[in-house]
Amino acid sequence: MSPSDRLAGVELLLVDGNNLLHRESGSAGSGPVRGLLARLQSAVPAPVHTIVVLDGHAAPGSSSMNRVGPRLELRHARSQSADDLIVQLATAHSPVGRAGVVVISDDRALRDRVTTAGCRARRLVWLQELLRPRRAGPDPRPAVPAEGAPDDDERPAWRPGRGATRKKGNPRRRPRR
């Protein structure tokens, strides 16, 4: 399924950034955030506006709302929780317009809150599949072994150890006959 098919009818994509970053990289540091934003910018088609919401404050001297591209924003929740900011952004639309809002999170309570408000919710796997790079064309691995490669019948039988680790017994004792 192509990204445009997956995002049909979606106008706004709200991403629980901390939830996604901790799933993928284990932290919400600046490096993983930049990587996530770059992947989102290239994977999400043009008509869909995407907002990634993070907990806490932005770095000193920077704004809590950063426009990364024409359709991508990064927001910090500041003193409120990211979940509350996501619900606030989702419910800012008219009740009819909320059908085009999709919230991405594995937080069940957040998903329940936004679906009760009339928005759609998806799990992180849904977005991760969208962000996964697609391979073009057939499988690049050869279907048959290359010439010179041993067939299964020609391979030597399995033996324990690699030679250097094979047990030989006590070197001071005479071997058994």
CATH no. for residue 96? Answer: 3.40.50
Give the number of domains in the chain. 1
Please, are residues 25 and 115 in contact by the beta-carbon 8 Å criterion? Answer: no
Question: In terms of pLDDT, which residue wins out, 164 or 7?
Answer: 7
Asked, for residue 151, whether it belongs to a domain, the answer is no
One-letter amino acid at 107 equals: D
Range of the domain at 118: 3-131
Asked, for residue 136, whether it belongs to a domain, the answer is no
**Angstrom distance (rounded) from CA 96 to CA 84:** 21
Question: In terms of pLDDT, which residue wins out, 28 or 54?
Answer: 54
pLDDT at 135 over 70: no
User: What is the per-residue pLDDT for 167?
Assistant: 63
Asked, for residue 50, whether it belongs to a domain, the answer is yes
What does the mean pLDDT of the chain come to? 82
Asked, for residue 176, whether it belongs to a domain, the answer is no
Residue 113: how many CA atoms within 13 Å on its side-chain side? 17
Rg, C-alpha atoms of the chain: 26
Residue 1's pLDDT band (cuts 50, 70, 90): low
- Report residue 130 as tokens: 């969208």
Q: Is the pTM of this model over 0.75?
A: no
Asked, for residue 82, whether it belongs to a domain, the answer is yes
Asked, for residue 148, whether it belongs to a domain, the answer is no
One-letter amino acid at 37 equals: L
Asked, for residue 106, whether it belongs to a domain, the answer is yes
Asked, for residue 170, whether it belongs to a domain, the answer is no
pLDDT in tens, 27-44: 777 888 888 888 998 888
**Angstrom distance (rounded) from CA 74 to CA 62:** 12
pLDDT in tens, 155-175: 666 666 665 565 667 778 877
